[in-house]
Chain A
Amino acid sequence: MDKSQLEQVDDTLWRIPPKGKMRVPVLIFADEALIDEMDDKVAEQAANVTTLPGIVGACYVMPDAHWGYGFPIGGVAAFDPKLGGVISAGGVGFDISCGVRTLETGLRREHIEPIRKTLAEALISAVPVGVGSQGQIRLDDKEMVAMLSGGAQWAVERGWGRQEDLERIEENGRMAGADPSQVSKKARERQRREMGTLGSGNHYLEIQEVEQIYDLEVAGVFGLHQGDIVVTIHCGSRGLGHQIGTEFLKKMQKAAKEAGIDLPDRELACAPLDSPVGKSYLGAMRAGINCALANREIITHLVRQVFSHFFPEADLRLIYDVSHNTCKQEIHQIEGQRREVFVHRKGATRAFGPGHPAIPEVFRKVGQPVIIGGSMGTASYILVGTAEGEKKSLSSACHGAGRRLSRRQAHRTWQGQRIITDLERQGVIVRSPSYRGVAEEAPGAYKDVDAVVQAADRAGLARLVARLRPLVCIKG
């Protein structure tokens, strides 16, 4: 990124002051190396976001940010309905409530090691992954509505998941205010056979080992110990979310025009929060969040079945479930004022600090777990929300590594089979229905996740707690 447009505030914060149509500044959290690597488009897109009506505070950009559609991936922006604020389908993304959850297994490396390959095969047979896969669950119209308003709570009621999981999921597993009637027939049709499927692309299911603990006390509260085996699931709202995103991106083109909003980029299409389209999207998007929460809950159930077959004594307990493509109504102190705002986090994780009422009692003293997914074969991290994160970034942190090379470049550079062999030599078993998919997700195609989390930690967005090393990776 061209640094001449930036004011350096400190070693992990850069600022683009408001100019032209910008209503608020852009704040980029990154160290100098990450800034140098960051695309210029990120600055341009973040500056565009600041021109939207009702934006408050700033457009906050996370250390893993890259060029997205309209909003940068890794962009956070809050809008106040009292100031004519808007909601943007592009600001949430196509994969509504895409997110990550981590489960502790109570197992150690020596339990897993002798049957690692068998376990990988069992997982890829049990969890539908990749293009063209289908789940075992078929939803009729009534069940679809129940799922869209019930989220993970619905899944648990149907026997896919455990009651005690719910408090370990944002919104207690059920996003309030979902309006299934705003979810189109097409979106439902796309989902009918996709419950409990992982999807493809950067989505994965991994068995990991807790390789390093940075904060013993917080790790203890989270239930993480060095050498523990955990399972991490990364996926979203599947076809339903994609279809909602597609349809509202289109509806919001018109809505923005009708509201007289001058869009610097068509992809930034939005609607005033208090307009019919704005309300309709909010209801549909929240139903999409429930779909993602239900989906991750069902996959968890499938994973538990596999583990109980091999390890009848193992008890897979959910540590936490976070989403990184959302718009949530939250209360924040912005410029000294208490405001009720709608916070878009696109490729950014909510990171509430100690004492926040929205986080489970068990984490209240330390802050919420912030789970950062690595790319295939690289480490993942668990961080914890901070008190100062509220002021710095509306309690938001990074979400992953972010791509360095495009899919096309990756496809040309690597061979899937070779990557699988190489990773196996390094101790990671990869299973996927597609070699080309593996090539496009090659570890080298992603930025260094270690640098991203270090920057988030140094910037105070969230603090490092544990580093997880993959042992088995199931890719779509």
Chain B
Amino acid sequence: MSRGRWEHFEHKADIGVRGFGATPAEAFAQAALALTAVVTDPSSVVPREKVEFDLDRDDDGDLELLFVDFLNAIVYEMAVRKMLYSRFEVRIEAQKLHAVLWGEPVDRERHQPAVEVKGATYTELEVSEIRPGEWLAQCVLDV
């Protein structure tokens, strides 16, 4: 857990999200935090409501496709619930991905949400073990 961190990277019209972690699941969770940070400061989002989802894996073992599916599932849960999330737990199994998100409804005064995320793209998409025990998960978002 200690190596978990996230960052944004440049894309001209939009923005890239990048998560690092000891496992793919942890890198996914960090990238999800980077996604929230595109919209608002994650530290302003109180993790008081819990949302869970399962994704059936139809990616033939391709973690990159799974990563895009995962981010898009979060985009969906942000859009339909009008919520923002600041805590993520991800479990990747052979057949499915299980995610637990904690957050709260958008408060426009407090969160000053900058922009809606339309979806995750396959641009600059990468999920890989960059060195033993450190995973990276990244892609560009369409905002």
Contacts and interface: CB of A to CB of B under 8 A. Distances in A.
A339 interface: no
Interface residues of A, number: 49
A94 B14 contact: no
Nearest to B60: A254
Contact of A435 (B38, B79, B80, B112): B112
Interface in B1-34: 8, 10-15
A407 B14 contact: yes
Q: Which of A39, A192, A246, A250 lies at the interface centre, i.e. has the most chain B CB atoms within 10 A of its CB? A: A246
Contact of B112 (A39, A190, A243, A436): A436
Nearest to B39: A131
Given A132-B106, A190-B76, A250-B69, A406 B119 contact: no
A286 interface: no
Given A131-B113, A199-B116, A433-B108, A269 B80 contact: no
Given A132-B108, A134-B82, A186-B76, A95 B118 contact: yes
A406 B10 contact: yes
A433 B111 CA distance: 10
B123 to A, nearest CB: 5
Contacts of A430: none
Contact of B12 (A239, A403, A476): A403
A440 B115 contact: yes
B45 interface: no
Nearest to B9: A408
A199 B14 CA distance: 16
B128 interface: no
Nearest to B76: A186
A245 B108 contact: no
B143 to A, nearest CB: 6
A131 B108 contact: yes
A210 interface: no
Interface string A313-331: 0000000000000000000
Contacts of A201: 115-116, 143
Interface in A445-476: 476
A476 B14 CA distance: 16
Contact of A69 (B40, B72, B105, B122): B122
Interface string A423-438: 0000000000111110
Contact of B76 (A95, A243, A435): A243
Q: Which of B14, B65, B106, B111 lies at the interface centre, i.e. has the most chain A CB atoms within 10 A of its CB? A: B14
B118 A407 contact: no
Nearest to B82: A132
B11 A130 contact: no
Interface of B: 8, 10-15, 38-40, 65, 68-69, 72, 75-76, 79-80, 82, 105-106, 108, 111-116, 118-123, 125, 140, 142-143
Interface of A: 39, 41, 66-70, 73, 93-95, 130-132, 134, 186, 189-190, 192, 199-201, 239, 242-243, 245-246, 249-250, 253, 265-267, 269, 402-403, 406-409, 411, 433-437, 439-440, 476
Given A131-B111, A249-B119, A267-B121, 11 more contacts: A41-B12, A68-B13, A243-B119, A245-B119, A245-B142, A267-B123, A403-B13, A407-B15, A407-B114, A433-B112, A436-B114
